[in-house]
Structure 1
Amino acid sequence: MGNNQFYELNPTIEDYVKQCKKTSHIDLDLYSQYEVKRGLRDLNGRGVLVGLTEISDVCSTKEVDGKLIPTEGSLFYRGYNVFDIVKNQKDSNHFGYEECVYLLLFGELPTPQQLNEFATLLATYRTLPTNFVRDIIMKAPSRDMMNTLARSVLTLYSYDENADDTSLPNVLRQCLQLISLFPQLSVYGYQAYNHYHEGQSLFIHLPREDYSTAENILHMLRPDSKFTPLEAKLLDIALILHMEHGGGNNSTFTTHLVSSSGTDTYSAIAAAIGSLKGPRHGGANIKVMGMFDDLKDNVKDWNDDEAIADYLTRLLHKQAFDRQGLIYGMGHAVYSLSDPRAVIFRSFVERLSEEKGRTDEFKLYSTVERLAPQIIAKERKIYKGVSPNVDFFSGFAYNMLDLPVELYTPIFAIARIAGWSAHRMDELIYNNKIMRPAYKYVGQHRDYPTKKKHD
């Protein structure tokens, strides 16, 4: 039923919404009274402990004399510091993402032979079912690429003869196939949208077996399939930094939650995609780009610290951009003094800005990076440090790579499917209990009216 048909109703859909709002009147003080952890976080912002993991560790504090003190952030994959993982990636080697997929799934760094065999396995899985692109992706293309990605994942269920088999070998096979296919599903979905909705030429490049995930994304996306080694390297680093971030982030927790019901892999991953689609989770870098576009429109001299500081202050006062009172890309739910992903990514973004001749823009980002924490500290009470998060730089990086905005969040999904897969395997291996948190009923019990009372 189309939306217009709703408005023909009497009462209208708006009337029903008003009734919903009228019914929902829970006193916010009750949350404190019953010690409800809203957002599954305590008053200090720490997540409620709901599970154990050895997949990754997000560190932002250290204990001193029994107290937790904010410290420089660090991120570990299977015990290895991501700083060290990235530092040991050679410029000529674009298999960093594949190496980390192996690490997250199997717990150890692969030997050169194991990495080569694993990369070959992933390459063999980069084949969509016959006519899938024509019959599924090309028909009724969505304007939202995350919608397209979720729909494609759910449709793949129909092509799998063992779709509901939750044995570990079968689930691992399904996860590896999805890891391999996410780039195609995302890029082809964009190409279909760009052709049918934007009237642009249609390009469908088959993936190359000798290319890494990052290289194949650029190869399939660009009409001429050309890219520089630095471009591929930066995208590879972006995938590494986004692929896993502890079991408590919303989409990964969704994977655990849905997997605990015993459902199939396609349903669990589609649910995670739905979570990541939310602008509070996966779309933050798009907000950063919009904010900087607005800044450029309002501040003509990018070397004027005072004008930039005034704009940032107006952001906090809800007088600029989307008037939400936020400086996007600054701060993180867990990290305080620094987000290690932003620290790592920064140097690669700077190098690419030099290759692209956009160092003036990088300098503008650096100025905001320097001024924003000072201004936020002046305007608001800060209980922990505030610093740039990974989204602060990723949107600018993707823009320099000529990635369309429509693919920013799918790129996140292409990376995070590795973490989701590792956590799904963990949920099936270690846990055998459906998640069932509690909600306390705070309404009143009522007697159902008799027919006479209705009359």
Structure 2
Amino acid sequence: MALKETLKQKIEEFRPRTTRLVKEFGKVKIDEVTIDQCIGGARDIRCLVTDISYLDPQEGIRFRGKTIPETFEALPKAPGSKYPTVESFWYFLLTGDVPTPAQVDEVCAEFKKRQVVPSYVWDTIRALPRDSHPMVMLSVGILAMQKDSKFCGFYNSGKFNKMTAWEYVYEDASDLVARIPIVAAFIYNLKYRGDFQIAPDPSLDMGANFAHMIGQCEEYKDVARMYFILHSDHESGNVSAHTTHLVHSALSDPYYAYSAGLNGLAGPLHGLANQEVLDWTLKFQEKYCKDKEPTKELITQALWDTLNSGQVIPGYGHAVLRKTDPRYTSQREFCLNTPGLKDDPLFKLVAMIFEVAPGVLTEQGKAKNPWPNVDAQSGVIQWYYGLREWDFYTVLFGVGRALGCMANITWDRGLGYAIERPKSVTTAMLEKWAEAGGRQ
């Protein structure tokens, strides 16, 4: 495939850069580690490398150097849509190049071949208790496909070569990205639609096909395209991306690695947050705006009541960002440009909270970042379109995040990154160095 050949050329051109940095400049210091970083989750320690995306505190996420608006503007659009196809974005993440329409068509055709999910995967998922969490089903479904891993087969063949290993990761990664929306739609239909399954439509791109398979309306095709792209990557330090990278650094194949990444994504401090934000917003609406229009005065007082009771405002604040998350802004713009959605009571409430909350949080003085993140908006859109089984929202996140994780580990193998193995210290050591004013 032309995409794989393009990627091969780029990897071979890139390798000397990494080799030179390690060989000639390996001892150059780029950061220092403090005790609070050591205990506090390695926050802000610069020790991961990725060229797929970068999270700037002021600009937000950049995909291959482009902001979200620049990415949406540059990539070829789906027919009749203002949004790019996920396939065009996959090409862009892997290569850094904006694909031509012909190159996008080639990826779409390739995904159609790859998206056939083995029947044993359906049997495995169906064997789980029907009330299992959908993220358990997704993680198990991805892991079940490991049996046919091309990378694992290559490693076990006795012909393993670290210079060409990336090619087999690419094959697994491409299979996984093509199949994961099929698996996700199957899980949704199994759990919430009485196991009424809709076959994939070979004429549709990935986002549109997902909407089709879960019985959604025409408008939702753009929701899926936008959602999967926005949630694809957030540099390498977040739990799902880092876990995938860590597991794959042991030469575990992409299925092992991403199943592990999904398990991290399922946590309430990561991918589950959008579900919790929506739950809070619905309860907030019921308590304060059941029969009232959400005015600034009403919402201001309600937010102060919330904070004074010891609660937080979910969806506001971010570990890195120090302004409104551009992913929030993109989804807000979608709502404002969609008739019906912009007048939806729940969206109007979220929009009013957006106008008021940053000022309230700034006045309170406890929040480092009083601005909304992606989770403050995403659940509202799903709710509007009738996808109200919010324990499925993290599965949607997982479909999108596969794009970034799989692009990253393909490049990890292409550049031959080592197994990740940080050095640990004891609390006694930290106490000794603290008394001495530093490690001697």
**d(CA) in 2 for partners of 1:339 and 1:371?**
16
Partner deviation per Cα, 1:37-71 (whole Å, 9 max, x = no partner):
51111xxxxx21112221112112xxxxxxxxxx4
Structure 1 residue 435, shift from structure 2 partner: 1.3
Structure 1 residue 185, shift from structure 2 partner: 1.3
Change (3 A) 1:259 1:281: same
Q: Is the 8 A contact 1:316 1:326 kept in 2?
A: yes
**d(CA) in 2 for partners of 1:414 and 1:283?**
14
**d(CA) in 2 for partners of 1:210 and 1:294?**
41
> Which one of 307, 310, 314 corresponds to residue 316 of structure 1?
307
Partner deviation per Cα, 1:173-226 (whole Å, 9 max, x = no partner):
1111110111121121232223xxxxx53211111111122111221112xxx5
**d(CA) in 2 for partners of 1:48 and 1:246?**
13
| Residues 335-346 of structure 1 aligned to structure 2 (within 5 Å) | 335-346=321-332
Which AA in structure 1 matches 2:198? H
Structure 1 residue 355, shift from structure 2 partner: 3.1
**d(CA) in 2 for partners of 1:33 and 1:182?**
40
Q: Is the 8 A contact 1:186 1:410 kept in 2?
A: yes
Structure 1 residue 304, shift from structure 2 partner: 3.4
**d(CA) in 1 for partners of 2:103 and 2:256?**
30
Structure 1 residue 359, shift from structure 2 partner: 3.3
Structure 1 residue 248, shift from structure 2 partner: 1.3
Q: Is the 8 A contact 2:358 2:370 kept in 1?
A: yes
Is 2:220 the partner of 1:234?
A: no
Partner deviation per Cα, 1:354-403 (whole Å, 9 max, x = no partner):
235743332211110011111111222344x4211111110001112222
Hey, which of these two has a bigger chunk of helix by percent? 2
- Please list every run of 5 or more consecutive structure 2 residues that lacks an aligned counterpart in the other structure: 1-32, 156-164, 430-440
| Residues 56-455 of structure 1 aligned to structure 2 (within 5 Å) | 56-60=53-57, 71=58, 73-88=59-74, 90=77, 92-93=80-81, 95-133=84-122, 135-140=123-128, 141-160=130-149, 163-165=152-154, 167-194=165-192, 201-222=194-215, 227-228=217-218, 230-300=219-289, 301-317=292-308, 319=309, 325-352=311-338, 354-356=339-341, 358-383=343-368, 385-403=369-387, 404-442=389-427
Residue range with higher mean Cα deviation, 232-241 or 305-314? 305-314
Q: Is the 8 A contact 2:341 2:347 kept in 1?
A: no
Q: Is the 8 A contact 2:285 2:349 kept in 1?
A: no
Which AA in structure 2 matches 1:213? M
- Please list every run of 5 or more consecutive structure 1 residues that lacks an aligned counterpart in the other structure: 1-30, 42-46, 61-70, 195-199, 445-455
Aligned partner of residue 203 in structure 1, secondary structure: coil
Q: Is the 8 A contact 1:57 1:76 kept in 2?
A: yes
TM-score (norm 1): 0.78
Change (3 A) 1:304 1:398: same
Is 2:39 the partner of 1:49?
A: no
Which AA in structure 1 matches 2:265? L
Partner deviation per Cα, 1:133-157 (whole Å, 9 max, x = no partner):
2x22222245211111111111111
> Residue in 2 aligned with 1:68?
none
Which AA in structure 1 matches 2:62? F
TM-score (norm 2): 0.81
> Which one of 31, 39, 42 corresponds to residue 41 of structure 2?
39
**d(CA) in 2 for partners of 1:264 and 1:274?**
16
Aligned partner of residue 163 in structure 1, secondary structure: helix
Change (3 A) 1:338 1:158: same
Aligned partner of residue 312 in structure 2, secondary structure: coil
User: How many positions carry a matched residue from both structures?
Assistant: 381
Structure 1 residue 333, shift from structure 2 partner: 1.2
Q: Is the 8 A contact 1:163 1:265 kept in 2?
A: no
Among the aligned pairs, what percent are the same residue?
25
**d(CA) in 2 for partners of 1:105 and 1:421?**
9
Structure 1 residue 162, shift from structure 2 partner: 5.5
Q: Is the 8 A contact 1:302 1:308 kept in 2?
A: no
Q: Which has the larger radius of gyration?
A: 1
Q: Is the 8 A contact 2:296 2:352 kept in 1?
A: yes
